[in-house]
Amino acid sequence: MKAWLPTFLRALLCLVLIAFLLAPQVFEPLLKPLVQPNAPAIYNQGSLIDLTLLHLRTVFIATVLATLVAILLAIMVTRPFGAEFLPLSRSLVNIGQTFPPVAVLALAVPAVGFGEKPTLIALFLYGLLPIFENTLTALTNLPRSVMEAARGTGMTDFQRLLQVELPLSLPVIVGGIRLSVVISLATATIGSTVAAKTLGEVIIAGLQSNNLAFILQGGLIVGALAVLIYDALTAVEALLSRRTGRA
């Protein structure tokens, strides 16, 4: 029973989240005690499911861009011609962790305007570090015997990268992407302060109207998404580890 209990709880969480997004009014009696008399218990200034999908879209775009740049940087600094750029690359990917998200948004808005773009910039910068470091670690710790065997078969450097190094490194890279996504899911809520369409709208509306139910809705949806996506990527990472023999 213990083996399937976590899976059951994740499935239950997923079902509750979907039910809440599709029919939030069903949960109104649970949230009504958290609001003042005559105040709405369910967010009524927009569609929760639309905001959730837009939130996920923003996180997805930023994560894809961060993944491409971080992996390319890690590949470059693990080649002989790019090894000298490792300190510079580390400095670049640490920029997002150096500045608070609000500061990045404040700097980005004058350049690209309000909306989704400054949020994408902030999430992109914040997502670089875990993906870069995991990719770098994976590429520099590949089994020596495997690499020597690949060279012995006459593979070129590019063939070894595509057919040996990246496939073996994939589980660790996915681990970095998992961390990046969780960071972005939480950070994206701040994007609503610069007019980005995210679940931060729900939280901000709750703060402005002193509505605890709104704050709880926004926070719990983001938290549930983070748990479910984290678990899904953990399962993908475990599957890839078994297939590559690096479990």
Binned at pLDDT 50, 70 and 90, residue 185 comes out as very high
Give pLDDT tens digits for 154-180. Answer: 888 888 988 999 999 999 999 999 999
CATH topology for 47-244 is MetI-like fold (1.10.3720)
Look up residue 212 and give its two tokens. 């605890």
**Rounded distance, CA 107 to CA 226, Å?**
27
Domain boundaries, the chain: 47-244
The pTM of this model reads 0.91
Q: Is the pLDDT of residue 231 over 90?
A: yes
Q: CB-hemisphere CA count at 13 Å for 12?
A: 6
- How many helices and strands, by DSSP H and E, does the chain display? 12, 0
| Nearest in space to 119 (alpha carbons), one of 179, 186, 172, 166 | 186
Average pLDDT over residues 40-68: 94
| Nearest in space to 71 (alpha carbons), one of 117, 138, 122 | 138
Residue % of the chain over a pLDDT of 70: 97
**Rounded distance, CA 196 to CA 142, Å?**
41
Look up residue 177 and give its two tokens. 């992407």
Residue with tokens 């710790």: 141
pLDDT at 1 (0 to 100): 46
Q: Is the pLDDT of residue 94 over 90?
A: no
pLDDT at 2 (0 to 100): 63
CB 135 within 8 A of CB 76: no
Q: Is the pLDDT of residue 75 over 80?
A: yes
pLDDT at 60 (0 to 100): 96
pLDDT at 216 (0 to 100): 93
DSSP codes joined into one string, 7-60: HHHHHHHHHHHHHHHH-GGGGHHHHGGGS-TT--SS--SS-HHHHHHHHHHHHH
Tell me the Ramachandran region of residue 66: left when phi exceeds 0, alpha when psi lies from -120 to 50, beta otherwise. alpha
Q: Is the pLDDT of residue 247 over 60?
A: no
Entry field: residues in the chain: 247
CB 237 within 8 A of CB 174: yes
**Rounded distance, CA 157 to CA 162, Å?**
9
pLDDT at 158 (0 to 100): 87
CB 216 within 8 A of CB 34: yes
User: Average pLDDT over the chain, rounded to whole?
Assistant: 90
